[in-house]
Amino acid sequence: MSVIAHLTDVHLVEADARRPAGFTAAARRGFLNLGRAIDEGERRRSFAEALRGATTLGFDHLVVTGDLTEEGTVAQFEAVAAVLDEAGIDPARVTLLPGNHDVYAHPHAWTDALDGPLSAYARTSAPGTVVELADVVLAPVSTTRVQRWWRSAGEVSTPERRAIGIAVQIAARRGVAAVIAQHHPPTRVHRAGWHWFDGLLDHATMRPVLRALKQTYVLHGHLHERRDDRFEGELIAHIFGAAAVVEDSGSLRRYQIAGQTLAPIEVETG
């Protein structure tokens, strides 16, 4: 029986982040933060506390579903790596995902981070990776797309969909659950105009891929709120979102996997 810990939307910034150089940089930083205080030290403390909470309560694997940084700069990814290193968690037990914020600096910011500051986590986090645990197969999926910083939509590329298919096939062969970890939720959660701006654009094409195995679950972030959702026609939730670390001290979620079933651990103490 495995336990997966789930955190999301950390939004770490670099030192002196409150004083970006130039009007354009200041406008971008203000827009992306949406009124949140830009406090590098406080954000690092929030992430560190969330990691300590996960460690205290215990887990077999930790998943962080994107928006690790505010803009995806090298300095911001270095801040993420520093907090993770201070937490002392074995990188083999951690899977990191990119969110839309993690590639605003440039389209290859995430892959560059996995080659650089986050290289210790590449084996369990790189695109196309399949992480096999005792009773679950985990697939990290990027929903990032090339777009300007004022837009926050996502999409899943064809190679990423193939990776999901492989993970589902492995899980079916082993008779275990499949867990897909991605930043954007795999369903429409907004009206049409807002969905174009902020949602997963190809969510409709994802459903048959995700439902190829009945016991497939999705962990996501992006919405900054805790959610338990269902695919159409289902009675039991298979889609779980967590609150944002940057905003909520109760952001940690944990899930227990027994047999082929994943279920949230509702009561947390520690």
- pLDDT tens figures, 71-80: 999 999 999 9
Task: Name which of 41, 14, 44 is nearest 105 in CA terms.
Answer: 14
CA dist 11 and 46 (Å) reads 10
Average pLDDT score, the chain: 92
48 CB-near residues (< 8 Å, 6+ apart): 83, 86, 87
What CA–CA distance (Å, rounded) separates 88 from 43?
18
pLDDT tens digit sequence for 225-260: 999 998 877 888 999 999 999 999 899 999 999 989
The 10s digit of each residue's pLDDT in 24-41 is: 677 777 788 877 888 999
pLDDT exceeds 60 at position 23: no
What is the dihedral angle through the alpha carbons of 86, 14, 226, 133, rounded to the nearest 10 degrees?
-40
Q: Is 265 in a helix, a strand, or coil?
A: coil
Domain boundaries, the chain: 2-264
pLDDT on residue 270: 43
Give residue 17's pLDDT: 62
Instruction: State the Cα angle at 228 between 222 and 124, rounded to 5°.
Output: 55
Q: Is the pTM of this model over 0.85?
A: yes
Which tens digit of pLDDT belongs to each residue from 108-130?
999 999 999 999 999 999 989 99
Spatial separation of the C-alpha atoms in residues 115 and 120, rounded to whole Å: 9
Range from 82-96, 134-148, 255-269 carrying the lowest mean pLDDT: 255-269
Task: Decide if 171 contacts 178 (C-beta within 8 A).
Answer: yes
Please give the Cα distance from 75 to 100 (Å, whole number): 17
Homologous superfamily, domain 2-264: Metallo-dependent phosphatases (3.60.21.10)
